[in-house]
Amino acid sequence: MTTPEIDLAAADALLGDDTARFRHDYLEVRGLRVEFGGFVAVRDVDLTVTQGDLRFLIGPNGAGKTTLIDAVTGLVRAAAGSARFGGTELLGRATHRVARAGVGRTFQTASVFEELTVLQNLDIAAGARRGPATMLRRRRATPDAVEQAMETVGLTALRDVPAGVLAHGQKQWLEIGMLLVQDAHLLLLDEPVAGMTQAEREETGELLRRVGSQRVVVVVEHDMEFLRSYADSVTVMHQGRVLAEGTVAEVQQDPAVVEVYLGAPAGEPATATEGPA
Amino acid sequence: MTGRTSTLTARLAVLARPGRARALAGFGLAAVLLMAVAPVLLSPFRLGLLGKFLCLAMVAVGIGLAWGRGGLLTLGQGVYFGLGAYLMAMHLKLADAGPGGVPDFMLLYGTGEVPGWWEPLRSPVVALALVVLVPAALAAVLGWAVFTRRVRGAYFAILSQALAAAFAILLIGQQQTTGGTNGLNGFRSFFGYDLADPVNQRMLYLIAAGVLIVMVVVARQLMVSRFGEVLVAVRDQEDRVRFLGYDPAAVKTAVYVVAAVMAAVGGALFVPIVGIISPADVGVVPSIGFLVGVAIGGRATLLGPVLGSVAVSWAQTTMSEQFPSGWIYLQGALFILVVAFLPGGLASLRTTLRRRRRPAREEEPGAPAPVSSDGPPAADLLPEGSRA
């Protein structure tokens, strides 16, 4: 089996040219609050991510990173706040309507349709706007976007293989490919390189950088080396709040971040052990 | 020899998409067997039985789509089968009674007057339309209400079964207007044709065979279409489909309506062929009975549900002739065996055995197994336990 590789030229063809699209998208989250019972998982979070700014979202377990993405994509209900993308309010919409507003996401565990082939997975991702007449017919030709996405994530040779038999990293690439053909303009990626080899990480990083130049991308990631290599900016979350925001260097020198990651300085009560109000 | 084979292969390849030529040949063969061979070989009595089995198999085709492809475990298809059957039976009773006449059982048990909601069924056109429209509307409303609330899995199964129970109880309670436990029977004619005439009985059988073949063609088209792919995606990863911008409730409702209409048409043809419809044909037990054949045949395949359903019906008739009370136990045992050891049904027997013999063979890239077409059920490509 030849090792699949990311094809950045195909990615460019798929992503299009910014001047051609002539718009700059951005995600604007204001005062977002999510509660589960009495527990506040995300509180008063403000977050602005623009196109061309590959944003990483980090924080200890339970910091609210995934919950934030869940709230933006309609999986959990937000108690307060707003999340706007391209002038559209996302909060309060059904999940599939959020998706149709141009928001795509991946999950911590790669979730592809295992029994369907790579081609079928991508074709489904490309087709949410198809009418009944197209849906009820067989796929005659592969849509261009699907072809380009397969090239981009290096799965063209495996197009007719069930996604369930793909290697772990390939599944994650397939998921990214699905976001691209879905024509998502806001991509929320939850640990996209978890479990990948070093070579795969680098290829994924390059691809994300390319995607980030044309789309709004937020990456939740624990891998600090990956973050240092590819993040344009970083938002650090802790106990449901935004703790710090800035470039990698700025964030690394922030005392609050150091405290959370390395433990409380002597003499002060550790905030990490404090229960939420 | 090989040369001839290869030209043949080449010629078949001209027919473009893989499987299409084979499918056409398959449908042709089935049509010849059912519509030309069976009527010659079988006695009128056996032919009538086969016609009944084909009507039950129509329900199975719908269940194969909804359950096998859509993951909807419908334990209540008896409701839709019954709606189609009762609507047809009501029309036949009114037609037998003549213009303005009153069906015989109403004179015995009822007020001797035809209730207002029966009246529209005097018209054959309205009756045929309602046979399709009433079950479709009920399935659409019910399906939408249930699926948008994300009721799924066992909860949906229980709900659908409760519906079947309620429907049967409702029918039993309305003796004056639905015939109660006796149901509706004693039909003399079918759209003007005398039901006692063997020629007309044979015609009814041929209609049933033709309708079943059309349904299988429709099912195949749905399976190979993009809708069929999305349906499998919804079955396996409903949330993921939602994040791609589809509404899974709409997809599920659509397939549920299709299954309901197929069951209703089966019920409507069952009535003139069998000559009776009663609550015992539409309640919980027959609803589960529909499922058994589908499970045994292979729920996710195209022909598994049909063949399984006909085989189970045939076995039931044969067994019941010899051991009247034994069949229900055998049916239960078969169902348990298949669910436990052969989740893909008999259609997956070959692949299951092959996998047992050669475990964990790496799939060669470029030589893929067909997945969502009518090839082997794709469930077999996955390790045990990875599917609900």
pLDDT of residue B319: 85
- Average per-residue pLDDT in chain B? 86
- Does the pLDDT value for residue B14 go beyond 70? no
Residue B183 is predicted with a pLDDT of 93
Query: Which pLDDT belongs to residue B349?
Result: 82
Task: Tell me if B296 sits within 8 A of B290, measured CB to CB.
Answer: no
Whose structure tokens read 């390189």?
A193
CB-CB under 8 Å, A113 with B232: yes
B226:A124 CB<8 A: yes
Neighbouring residues of B284: CB distance < 8 A, sequence distance ≥ 6: B75, B78, B161, B164, B165, B168
Contact across the interface for B229 and A120, Cβ inside 8 Å: yes
Rg (CA), chain A: 19
pLDDT of residue B369: 40
Residue B374, pLDDT above cutoff 60: no
pLDDT on residue A87: 84
B24 pLDDT band (50/70/90 cuts)? confident
Q: Is B384 near chain A, with CB under 8 Å?
A: no
Alpha-carbon gap, residue B340 to B352, rounded angstroms: 13
For A170-183, how does the pLDDT look when each residue is reduced to its tens digit (9 = 90+)? 999 999 999 999 98
Q: What is the mean pLDDT of residues B342-368?
A: 65
Find the residue in B nearest to A124 (Cα).
Answer: B230
Res B7: pLDDT: 52
Give A161 to chain B, closest Cα distance, Å: 5
CATH assignment at residue A161: 3.40.50.300
A63 belongs to a structural domain: yes
Question: Do A53 and A208 contact (CB within 8 A), yes or no?
Answer: no
pLDDT for the residue numbered A274? 39
Tell me phi and psi for residue B195, to 5 degrees.
-75, -15
Q: Please identify among residues 180-209 of chain A the ones whose CB lies closer than 8 Å to any CB of chain B.
A: 182
For chain A positions 43-62, those within 8 Å of chain B (CB to CB) are none
Q: Which of B229, B235, B355 to mutate to test the interface with A (most CBs of A within 10 A)?
A: B229
Q: Does B162 touch chain A (CB under 8 A)?
A: no
pLDDT digit string (tens) for B285-339? 899 999 999 999 999 999 999 999 999 999 988 888 888 778 888 888 888 888 8
pLDDT at A81 over 70: yes
Q: Which residue in chain B is spatially nearest to A100 when comparing CA positions?
A: B245
Q: Is residue A273 part of a domain?
A: no
Percent of chain B with pLDDT over 90: 65
Of the pLDDT bands very low, low, confident and very high (cuts 50, 70, 90), residue A264 is low
DSSP string spanning A49-94? EETT--EEEE-STTSSHHHHHHHHTTSS--SEEEEEETTEE-TTS-
Task: Determine whether the interchain pair B229/A123 forms a contact, defined as Cβ–Cβ distance below 8 Å.
Answer: yes
pLDDT at A109: 81
Q: Answer yes or no: do B245 and A96 touch at CB < 8 A.
A: yes
pLDDT at residue A56 greater than cutoff 90: yes
Binary contact (A162, B371; C-beta < 8 A): yes
Q: For A72-101, b where at least 16 C-beta lie within 10 A, e where not — what string?
A: bbbbbebeebebebbeeebbebebbbbbbb
CA distance A169 to A195: 7
* B338 within 8 A of B345, measured Cβ to Cβ: yes
A109 interfacial to chain B (CB closer than 8 Å): no
Q: Which of A1, A95, A137 sits opposite B243 (nearest CB)?
A: A95
Which residue in A96, A120, A137 is closest to B372 by CB distance? A120
Listed ranges A107-121, B4-18, B98-112, B201-215; the one with the highest mean pLDDT: B201-215
What confidence score (pLDDT) does residue A2 get?
Answer: 52
Nearest-CA distance A2 → chain B (Å): 10
CB-based contact, B363 to chain A, within 8 Å: yes
Residue A152 to residue A118: CA distance in whole angstroms? 13
Q: Which residue in B230, B232, B247 is closest to A96 by CB distance?
A: B247
In whole angstroms, how large is the CA radius of gyration of chain B? 22
pLDDT at A269: 41
Nearest to A234 by CA among A215, A264, A207, A254: A254
Q: Are A228 and A30 in contact (CB under 8 A)?
A: no
Cβ distance of B247 and A94 shorter than 8 Å: yes
From residue B66, how far is each of A77, B75, B261 by CA, in Å?
A: 31, 11, 12
Write out chain A residues lying below 8 Å of B232, CB-based.
113, 115-116
Confidence of residue B18 (pLDDT cuts 50, 70, 90): low
What mean pLDDT, rounded, does chain A reach? 87
Residue A272 lies in a domain: no
Give the percent of chain A with pLDDT over 70. 90
Residue B381 reports pLDDT greater than 50: no
- Cα gap A135→A131, rounded to integer Å: 6
**Is A106 contained in some domain?**
yes
What range does the domain containing A241 cover? Answer: 8-15+24-263
The two structure tokens encoding residue A170 = 């390939």
Would the pLDDT of B364 be above 50?
no
Structural domain count, chain A: 1
**Residue A112 belongs to some domain of the structure:** yes
Does residue A203 lie in a domain region?
A: yes
pLDDT surpasses 60 at B20: yes
Collect all residues with Cβ–Cβ distance below 8 Å to A154 and sequence separation of at least 6. A4, A5, A6, A7, A170, A173
A123 contacts chain B (CB < 8 A): yes
pLDDT given for residue B55 in this prediction: 97
Listed by start position, the domains of chain B span 19-283
Question: Is pLDDT of B387 > 50?
Answer: no
State the alpha helices, DSSP H only, in chain B: 2-14, 20-32, 38-41, 44-63, 77-97, 104-109, 124-148, 153-173, 175-178, 198-224, 226-236, 238-243, 248-274, 284-297, 304-322, 327-341, 349-357
8 A C-beta contact, residue A260 and residue A273: no
What is the DSSP secondary-structure string of B16-33?
-STTHHHHHHHHHHHHHI
Interface membership of A94 toward B (CB under 8 Å):
yes
The DSSP annotation for B173-234 comes to H-HHHH-GGG-EE---EETTEETTSHHHHHHHHHHHHHHHHHHHHHHHHHHHSHHHHHHHHH
Instruction: Tell me if A76 sits within 8 A of A42, measured CB to CB.
Output: no
Burial class (CB in 10 A: 0-12, 13-18, 19+), B275: middle
In a domain, A2, yes or no: no
Per-residue confidence (pLDDT) for residue B254, from 0 to 100: 97
Q: Which of A92-101, A189-198, A208-217, B265-274 reaches the highest mean pLDDT?
A: B265-274
What is the value of ipTM here, to two decimals? 0.86
Chain B residues 19-58 with a CB less than 8 Å from chain A: none
The pLDDT of residue A224 = 87
Predicted model pTM: 0.86
Residue A123 sits at φ, ψ, to 5 deg, of -65, -40
pLDDT level of residue A18 (50, 70, 90 thresholds): low
- Give contacts of B247 with chain A, Cβ < 8 Å: 94, 96
Q: Considering only alpha carbons, which residue of chain A is nearest residue B219?
A: A136
A275 min Cα distance to partner chain B (Å): 32
Specify the pLDDT at position A21: 52
B217: left (phi over 0), alpha (psi -120 to 50) or beta: alpha
Residue B10 has pLDDT above 70, yes or no: no
| The pLDDT of residue B159 | 95
Q: What's residue B372's pLDDT?
A: 39
Closest CA to B72 of B300, B262, B282: B300
Residues of B in contact with A165 (CB under 8 A): 363, 381
How far A209 CA lies from chain B's nearest CA (Å)? 22
pLDDT beyond 90 at B187: yes
Stretch B117-132: mean pLDDT: 95
Q: How confident is the model at residue B240 (pLDDT cuts 50, 70, 90)?
A: very high
Phi, psi of A218 (to 5 degrees): -120, 125
CA distance B93 to A41: 65
Question: Hey, which residues does A217 pair with through a beta bridge?
Answer: A187
**Mean pLDDT, rounded, for A234-240:** 93
pLDDT band at A86 (very low <50, low <70, confident <90, very high): confident
The predicted pLDDT at position A142 comes to: 92
Say yes or no to pLDDT of B16 above 50: no
Q: Over 70: is that where the pLDDT of B375 sits?
A: no
Q: What is the pLDDT of residue A19?
A: 54
Pairing of strands A233-238, A55-58: parallel
pLDDT of residue B117: 92
Contact B76, B160 (CB under 8 A): yes
Q: Does B230 touch chain A (CB under 8 A)?
A: yes
pLDDT at residue A125 tops 90: yes
